[in-house]
Structure 1
Amino acid sequence: MRKAIVVVDMQNDFIDGALGTKEAREMLPRMVEKLTAEQAAGTAIIFTMDTHGEDYLETQEGKKLPVEHCIRGTAGWQIANALQTFVHAAAAVIEKPAFGATELPAVLTDYDAIELTGLCTDICVISNALILKAFYPEKPIAVDSSCCAGVTPESHANALAAMRMCQVEVR
């Protein structure tokens, strides 16, 4: 069975930057440990990157969330240093201008099982999990809750509950 793990938006701005949280910082060592084991097991690793332009504040998202973040080329846009060895060996790195990565289903066509991790559980992780479940209703789609963090602990829990209701396995 070919497995892929999708690492959603593990970028500096979501960890310790403009939109960082204590939960994201605390989760990072668990993510390193998980990716080390997954890579050793032959699991394909795919990263997504929230990517905005200088005009972010003028976009629909920017008007609803007026905090500049993940602006292409900035330090906050970069994937965390602790994950760079995995980025260099990744099967794909997908830049996305919105919550969900519309290219992700095509990248994951040849995999039998898909697991998601990353940030933020309640925005981008859930968006990508539901996109994948819609494209691949018979593939096992899972989320590792210990390697995710939400905007708040409450919204993280709500997102996990919503994914369970949509038949995404929450581990």
Structure 2
Amino acid sequence: MKRLLIVVDYQRDFVEGALGFPGAEALDGPIADRIAAYRAAGDDVAFTLDTHGPDYPATEEGQWLPAAHCLRGSPGWSLYGRTGEARRPEDPVFEKETFPSLALGEWLRERDYGQVELCGLVSHICVLSNAVMVKAALPNAHITVDARLTASYDPALHQKALDVLEGIQIAVLHR
């Protein structure tokens, strides 16, 4: 069974930049280790990148969240730490201007993954949104989120997101 790891938005702006929060940096080593384990098993790794342009303040998201972040080409847009170093040129990368990636969902529909794992940031926003996208694209795949490999700036919303993931038949591991 072919497996896929999706690393969601583990970017500098969510770790140490405009929207960074304490504890986000602690995920770097474990996410990089998970990437290495997938590669060692011959499985695939894909990445999403929150991506905004200079028009961000005029977007719907920018109206709700007026903190410029993940501006294409800026230091904050890049993947963080060892996780960023683990990215290979052949890895699929999905730039997205909103929480989930429709392009990721469309790409997945053309593949036959039996298992998909998501990790990264932020648990109650982009990880949750992309997990729903994966579920829609691959309704019979076993989808997991390891609670040790995702986090939020809001611990209560993080726990609620894990509850919602379980409620939509996504396995939450190591809770």
Give the TM-score category using the shorter length: over 0.9
Misfit runs of 4+, over 6 Å: none
| Offset from partner CA, 1:38-92 (integer Å, 9 cap, x none) | 2111120000000000111111101100100000010000111312332125530
1:121 pairs with 2:129:
no
Q: Is the 8 A contact 1:44 1:90 kept in 2?
A: no
Whole-Å separation in 1 of the counterparts to 2:125 and 2:90: 23
Q: Would the aligned equivalents of 2:105 and 2:136 in 1 still touch at CA under 8 Å?
A: no
Stretch of structure 1 that moved more, 100-109 or 157-166:
100-109
Q: Which sections of structure 1, spanning at least 5 residues, go unmatched? A: none
Give the conservation status (yes or no) of the 8 Å contact 1:27–1:148.
yes
Q: Which residue of 1 aligns with 2:163?
A: 161
Alpha-carbon shift at residue 110 of structure 1 (Å): 2.6
Q: Retained in 2: the 8 A contact 1:2–1:113?
A: yes
- The amino acid across from 1:75 in the alignment is P
Query: In the alignment, what sits opposite 2:58?
Result: 58
Structure 2 residue runs without a partner (length 5+): none
Instruction: Tell me whether 1:28 sits opposite 2:38 in the alignment.
Output: no
The separation in 2 between residues aligned to 1:99 and 1:166, in whole angstroms, is 18
Determine helix, strand or coil for the equivalent of 2:102.
coil
Task: Report the equivalent of 1:151.
Answer: 153
Deviation at 1:10, TM superposition (A): 0.6
The corresponding residue for 1:6 is 6
1:60 and 1:151 mapped to 2: Cα distance?
A: 21
Q: Does 1:141 align with 2:158?
A: no
Q: Percent identity?
A: 39
1:103 alignment partner, SS class: helix
Is the Cα contact below 8 Å between 2:114 and 2:140 reproduced in 1?
A: no
Shift of 1:129: 0.4
1:131 and 1:17 map into 2 onto residues whose CA distance is 27
Cα deviations by residue, 1:140-171 (Å, 9 ceiling, x for unpaired): 11111111111312111110100100101111
- Letter of the aligned partner of 1:97 in structure 2? E
How far apart are the structure 2 equivalents of 1:117 and 1:90? 19
Structure 2 residue identity aligned to 1:168: I
Counterparts of 1:54 and 1:70 in 2: how far apart (Å)? 10
